[in-house]
Chains A and B, each alone.
Chain A
């Protein structure tokens, strides 16, 4: 019998040739960015549904944009969380500190103090404001760009820097790539390099909380690029099947390294609209509007806490800087994009709002920025006493073999002894402060 593949096409075949669509961003390096086609709607225009709303009645929220802060820098509409000025100043302070921290750590990487860093510039509201709307013991499952949560929850800056430097003060013992923080004390889950894995884990944590009749909820953050991972589909499915008390935050910052959001499906729909197919409540929010970020997270938290179920929130924002210290965005996108981005800068917008309501001024802002920069600088110096990457002040060799399992099995005991033996040959003139690593056995 003839193999069909070997059969030639009949002559005169007039079927049209198929064409593959490969998405292309609107602007490449050298292009003038123009975002005028993005409909950002009007601040205050969106109604605020009841937190018990049926997802089927919320279709408009998946395609619109919840915005509170208007062009006039005033808060508008039913999503205004009506936070008192002191809370707004605290929010602004956290966001300013995150920005100062990012600046300093990026510079630290360039100075060779560590191997790697990732900024969240332009996205500070999506972690700081969202985190403020949660209880401090609600469990968060972040990606690598939510340092704002740690700062909002009061995690000591020095611990963050120790981790980034992988020094002897690093609570993760130098095992993790910089910025892959973990703090159980702050209900902040261990960050993994593998994208989107945290999303079903957050759902599982929320299911556990519901199984035990607890009152705590879970929230997870994932980039729009990572929503293409199978784990995200699993997370949405399990969240809805078990009505898990979880918030699935999608940070749509338009870029996944060099790939624009079209490669995650953004050319044809929104990420909030993904919620509809799962029967999840979906909200689409101005991610550079701290008040809208707070309000949406608060809505979803109230909904989860009252057993009304999970929510998917798309935060529409822009990744203002490169993906990481290993990335140069001028190689794939227009340098004007950041300036032209229609939703502006989240720190600046919150500042202008506080000034507009007579609760802040430029002098206090300058003073605060100065204070943040000095605090980060002083803490950096303090952390450097524990060492910087590759300068000898690290954890003892034996710690490399610990915590693989609860107890050290025989094969790891043998390998730990080998590493310690090799040390004498590799580094005979080891730094005296590093002596704790020598010959330590169990």
Chain B
């Protein structure tokens, strides 16, 4: 952990930890990798001079130059397509898609090209790219600034899907993604860019500065892909979740005083199946929480895996708390969002209360 020394009024040196938010953590990861590897290229709509609509790339063009960090035309197909070509050359592009809701024009390039390139060319060519994109709801983003399309990508052979839930993870995971030789979809939960979200939308949001995982080392460090994080350890039930919902689930379990073992999956593909199995076999109960719509969402895959692999340890059916199977609404956001009430009911059901 990084630390800074400050001198207090009475002259005593005091160690204070450096705390940053998720935007700053992502910016640092990009900065570190641009410094370390001359083949890393950052590009996307408004990422260059302006520094990104969420400020994730602020200052990077000025520091690293216009041929390393640059703006692109408004063409997701073009952004992903040229990134595949850059990867074939030997670069390590980190394209940004401004909102996950707008990644669809780039899907053919992601699914048909980036994901299959290593396989179809028998390693002649690879696509070592990391597509960063803000995702998720809870910000009154309406239909096209709130979606959680991770299941579209987890369904594609050859893509890795990574979703951080804290500034510390965001930096360490993003560095791992950029160094990874496979194409990675890196979804950033924009609801928690500035602070963890409790799900109690009418309460003021706490800034990251008050959260333990906002202590982020300066410089280079990595968090391995494919490894879940234990948010809390517990015996009563296992909660499998990721992104914004990690924090919502944690607050709800604490409020209900449930001895939950919350796993922040961090990487959906490849999945940390060992951690999942070990936890569910211990608790015998499993709740899956995600913002994305329910039908064929990633929760269905998690539920199937848990049922297949932990069936004889289960004390109750696996429950899924998800978004409803509708487009993401604007005015009825808090009726749609899988918040404390929906999670609470599911916990009661699993625990038989």
Contact = CB atoms under 8 A, between A and B. Distances in A.
Asked if A and B are interacting partners, one says yes
Interface of A: 139, 141, 171-173, 175-176, 180, 182-184, 189-190, 192-194, 197, 199-212, 218, 230-231, 233-235, 237-238, 241, 403-406, 409-411
A211 B83 CA distance: 13
Across chains A and B, which 7 residue pairs bring their CB atoms closest together, nearest first? A204-B85, A200-B81, A204-B82, A234-B78, A208-B89, A201-B85, A190-B121
B85 A231 contact: no
Residue picked from B84, B89, B93, B109, most chain A C-beta under 10 Å: B89
Given A204-B83, A241-B73, A173 B122 contact: yes
Given A139-B89, A184-B125, A205-B85, 5 more contacts: A203-B85, A208-B85, A211-B86, A403-B119, A411-B271
A218 B85 contact: yes
B118 A403 contact: yes
A205 B124 contact: no
Contact of A201 (B82, B160, B181): B82
A175 B41 CA distance: 31
A238 B77 CA distance: 11
B246 interface: no
Contacts of B93: 204
27 contacts: A139-B88, A139-B89, A172-B121, A182-B121, A182-B122, A193-B112, A197-B81, A197-B113, A200-B109, A201-B84, A203-B81, A211-B41, A212-B89, A212-B91, A218-B85, A231-B77, A234-B73, A234-B77, A235-B78, A237-B73, A238-B73, A403-B119, A403-B122, A404-B157, A406-B182, A409-B269, A410-B273
B312 to A, nearest CB: 19
B7 interface: no
Residue picked from B84, B108, B119, B123, most chain A C-beta under 10 Å: B119
B77 A409 contact: no
B123 A197 contact: no
Contacts of B73: 234, 237-238, 241
B122 A172 contact: yes
Contact of B226 (A192, A200, A409): A409
Given A404-B119, A405-B158, A197 B89 contact: no
Contacts, number: 146
B249 interface: no
B194 interface: no
Contacts of A141: 85
A189 B84 CA distance: 11
Contact of A189 (B125, B158, B269): B125
B226 to A, nearest CB: 7
B78 A238 contact: yes
B177 to A, nearest CB: 13
Contact of B270 (A176, A194, A205, A410): A410
A192 B86 contact: no
Contacts of A203: 78, 81-82, 85
A197 B125 CA distance: 15
Given A231-B77, A238-B78, A208 B112 contact: no
Contacts of A139: 88-89
A230 B105 contact: yes
B270 A237 contact: no
B296 interface: no
B90 interface: yes
Interface residues of B, number: 46
A180 B85 CA distance: 17
B78 A404 contact: no
B75 interface: yes
B109 A197 contact: yes
Contacts of A405: 118, 158, 160, 182, 270
B81 A204 contact: yes
Nearest to A183: B124
Nearest to B272: A410
B212 interface: no
B120 interface: yes
Interface in B42-91: 67-68, 72-73, 75, 77-78, 81-86, 88-91
B77 A230 contact: yes
B117 interface: yes
A405 B180 CA distance: 10
Residue picked from B81, B123, B125, most chain A C-beta under 10 Å: B81
A205 B160 contact: no
A180 B75 contact: no
Contacts of B123: 403
Given A171-B122, A197-B108, A197-B109, A190 B117 contact: yes
Contact of A208 (B86, B105, B157, B160): B86
A70 B233 CA distance: 83
Contacts of B182: 405-406
Contacts of B160: 405
A234 B222 CA distance: 35
Nearest to B80: A200
A193 B85 CA distance: 16
Interface string B184-209: 00000000000000000000000000
B122 to A, nearest CB: 5
A4 B85 CA distance: 49
Nearest to A207: B82
Contacts of B270: 405, 409-411
Contact of B118 (A194, A241, A404, A409): A404
Contacts of A218: 85
Contacts of A409: 226, 269-270
A409 B73 CA distance: 36
Contacts of B89: 139, 204-205, 208-209, 212
Contacts of A176: 120
A361 B118 CA distance: 47
B82 A404 contact: no
A173 B122 CA distance: 7
Contacts of B85: 141, 200-208, 218
B125 A182 contact: yes
A173 B120 CA distance: 9
